[in-house]
Structure 1
């Protein structure tokens, strides 16, 4: 089996991309404390919403049903991963009329946390347009910040387009009737990780991974875009094919001298330690101009790995687009196989 694992890095400039619950009539950004330090963050839920919203306009989304009221509300999607890419890759839970169906996420995403501590700034504003002379303005305040945010991600490639039809409790992804409908539409029955399952045709599984990678390259979204619009495409993305699903690349971007720093020594040592598990070249997409001259330094310091074909460093859109193309053309079909690690 092969997993795509790695790191996603966002460059936030005077933004408020993900907000928490307001306090004292002030719109606050999400942040966490580490010791005495404050680290703004974007939640995994928000990032996944950005990614879902960045899917191509022609890609169908699974409809959401909302029911109940007050504290007894629930919302759930169609739960048809055979029909909808987002149900397949992002997962769901449907619990209605004593029936439970759940798909654990195929795309796992971490919280995007500021690499270096940053204290958000509170912006003071007023609304007085059209008010009579002498009337007091309406006051409003909200937080914003500039920071480099980094989080982990993992894509379980063998599970793309494969849905469990037996198991215990919530492990069942589809009811029997839906599974039979999927088979009639071209899916195959199979046994996957000990459970009876249905599997979509390989061409569709390739397509779904390619669509996801291109959506990541064209990522957009975030709160307060009317006031704090900014680029949300990845400033840096690292993806590595790993046989066992371990992500050894979580400590690549670290704080040094109060600034984010790409540590080539860590990358080199992790690649050496996990060489038997790495199932192809490690790809780094790095936007030019991000982190000053560090991109050029990394290329110099890792030149031997690049020349050996073990590492690729290019623009994020180029790296992700090339991976998408290779999936579509069948070059990476072996990564879909659930072979032993």
Structure 2
């Protein structure tokens, strides 16, 4: 296997976890309109920031950031150190850092091995505008307002395990995929080889690869962070637990995600559905491309009636070990421990075709 395909659900209750652009004294949440209905969302950028911060809490230092460009210029940029050999977040989340407009060798670019979608509400939810007044110790009160909402947010994600800790080297101008190290980063990679990394050919390109224990640790670190994820805006006013209410994982040989429609909103807008029949049909369609079981993490108290029906519908698969259901934190941390222990080393290489 080469990919971990997943779907994650966060339950937001009277929260404002991701702010949009405000208006004067009104704070807005991020939301979109689909078929004339309002759907709040948390951007993929925000979710990845939460994961980065949680990884830091777990002892993995974040790549330092630098703001580039003059304040008055419209062409403002912010970049990380772009050093995936040293920093796990540069490795897992990718980056782009250009130091010259004319010399490709001075550009370092890495596509993200961890891919995730927008955490979009599974049903329409119109945010509430909360009105507030600051009047303590002042003669003229200051009026302000902000939005919050209640919704279940769902997003797919995919982790390309062979690319974790694997860094392609500069190619000839116009050759190869846009996923390479700059000359400076290649020197860093050469230093990594001295520390145990190896030179490899990866998907048709010259590359260097960190030792397997380091690659195991980085993939496991991401799952540990997902299990304990914390973050979001307005926690002082709208504190909420941001750990997954529901998460589903399936190792896949190819970069597809059969879980997309197994967890989604109902067509009539009535809320979250976890479709056992859809999951069974997808497993049948992709037989030979997945390495079971399907790991399902479901928090107690979240959609208990839906969970009961899901487990009843998949009783045969659960009894046969094709589907495992437990707590999200337990499931994610157990898989992380298995990765660290070498139980799934075959997942870190592309399958033979």
Give TM-score scaled by structure 1 length: 0.96
Whether the 8 Å contact between 1:288 and 1:295 is mirrored in structure 2 is no
SS in 2 for 1:293: helix
1:71 aligns with 2:88: no
Aligned to 2:107: 100
The alpha-carbon deviation at position 64 of structure 1 amounts to: 1.0
Aligned to 2:88: 85
Structure 1 stretches lacking a partner, 5+ long: none
Aligned with 1:150 (options 142, 148, 154): 154
Aligned to 1:137: 141
The alpha-carbon deviation at position 245 of structure 1 amounts to: 1.1
User: For residues 265 and 90 of structure 2, what CA distance do their matches in structure 1 show?
Assistant: 36
User: For residues 171 and 317 of structure 2, what CA distance do their matches in structure 1 show?
Assistant: 44
Structure 2 stretches lacking a partner, 5+ long: none
Aligned with 1:187 (options 182, 193, 197): 197
SS in 2 for 1:139: strand
Question: What do the CA deviations read for 1:71-126 (whole angstroms, capped 9, x no partner)?
Answer: 13221111111111000000011111441110100000100000010000000000
The alpha-carbon deviation at position 259 of structure 1 amounts to: 2.1
Aligned to 1:160: 164
Compared with structure 1, are the counterparts of its residues 24 and 65 closer, same or farther at alpha carbon in structure 2 (3 Å cutoff)?
closer
Question: What do the CA deviations read for 1:183-241 (whole angstroms, capped 9, x no partner)?
Answer: 11211001000111000000111111111101000000000011001000000011100
The alpha-carbon deviation at position 253 of structure 1 amounts to: 2.3
Pairing 1:151-300 to 2, within 5 Å after superposition: 151-168=155-172, 170-175=178-183, 176-256=186-266, 258-300=270-312
Whether the 8 Å contact between 1:80 and 1:174 is mirrored in structure 2 is no
The alpha-carbon deviation at position 24 of structure 1 amounts to: 4.5
User: For residues 351 and 260 of structure 2, what CA distance do their matches in structure 1 show?
Assistant: 25
User: For residues 252 and 126 of structure 1, what CA distance do their matches in structure 2 show?
Assistant: 45
The list of structure 1 runs, each at least 4 consecutive aligned residues, that deviate by more than 4 angstroms after superposition, is none
RMSD in angstroms over aligned alpha carbons?
A: 1.4
Aligned to 1:47: 47
SS in 1 for 2:132: strand
User: For residues 264 and 82 of structure 2, what CA distance do their matches in structure 1 show?
Assistant: 39
SS in 1 for 2:74: helix
Aligned to 2:127: 120
More off after superposition, 166-175 vs 234-243 = 166-175
Number of positions where the alignment pairs a residue of Structure 1 with one of Structure 2: 338
User: For residues 117 and 162 of structure 1, what CA distance do their matches in structure 2 show?
Assistant: 41
User: For residues 51 and 130 of structure 1, what CA distance do their matches in structure 2 show?
Assistant: 40
Whether the 8 Å contact between 2:92 and 2:112 is mirrored in structure 1 is yes
The alpha-carbon deviation at position 255 of structure 1 amounts to: 3.0
The alpha-carbon deviation at position 33 of structure 1 amounts to: 0.6
SS in 2 for 1:147: strand
User: For residues 34 and 168 of structure 1, what CA distance do their matches in structure 2 show?
Assistant: 44
User: For residues 86 and 113 of structure 2, what CA distance do their matches in structure 1 show?
Assistant: 16
Question: What do the CA deviations read for 1:143-195 (whole angstroms, capped 9, x no partner)?
Answer: 00000000010000110100001335543224331221111121100100011
The alpha-carbon deviation at position 56 of structure 1 amounts to: 4.2
Aligned to 2:323: 311
Aligned to 1:13: 13
Aligned with 1:301 (options 313, 330, 339): 313
The alpha-carbon deviation at position 296 of structure 1 amounts to: 2.1
User: For residues 168 and 151 of structure 1, what CA distance do their matches in structure 2 show?
Assistant: 37
